[in-house]
Structure 1
Amino acid sequence: MNPMIEFCTNNYVHGTDNIKQKLEDNPEYDVIEYNCLGHCERCAVTPFAAVEGEFIEADDPDDLIDLIEETIEERKAFDDLFDQL
């Protein structure tokens, strides 16, 4: 199952629309956009996304994409370890 990455269209003002497009190009990710993800207080001031429901924010879009990919890799490593048990 592919990791789900969710974006708020209201947050595109912070450059997250470009990140969404880059991530959509990767067939290993499920990328979804919503009109609102309910994090309005943070949405107004910082780029963010939700990875498997976890709120991820950064100072700029480049940092955000790095954090998204790190979060996905950490979750994958944990899942792989769990599968070995």
Structure 2
Amino acid sequence: MDTGLGMILIEICDYNLLTSEHLEKIARHPEVAVMSYDCLNICGMCSLRPFAIVNGQRIFAETVEDCLVKIERKVEEELKNLA
């Protein structure tokens, strides 16, 4: 997966329901970097629902698909802010 230049950082936990493979499409943007950590110290959230931290903001949803939609929206918003 191309991790881009890192202007927009998506962070996920290794135990998350959302994986880096789910984020491959979003990570194709050259401005997006995906970092996977053993733990993000948001105790228990990784086992409850899919989530990611996008530029410091927690994004979560009931399903992986809904979470991906929300992450994509946030990335698009961040990309507009970079322009």
Q: Which residue of 2 aligns with 1:7?
A: 12
Q: Deviation at 1:79?
A: 5.1
So what's the TM-score if we normalise by structure 1? 0.74
| Selected match of 1:72 from 68, 71, 75 | 75
C-alpha distance in 2 between matches for 1:79 and 1:22: 20
Task: List 4+ stretches of structure 1 deviating above 6 A.
Answer: none
Aligned amino acid, residue 8 of structure 2: P
Q: 1:74/1:23 Cα in 2 relative to 1: closer, same or farther (>3 Å)?
A: closer
Task: Return the letter of the residue paired with 1:7.
Answer: I
The alignment-based identity, stated in percent, is: 32
TM-fit CA distance, 1:75:
3.0
User: Which structure has the larger Rg?
Assistant: 1
Displacement, 1:28?
Answer: 2.9
Task: Give secondary structure in 1 for the equivalent of 2:41.
Answer: coil
RMSD: 2.0
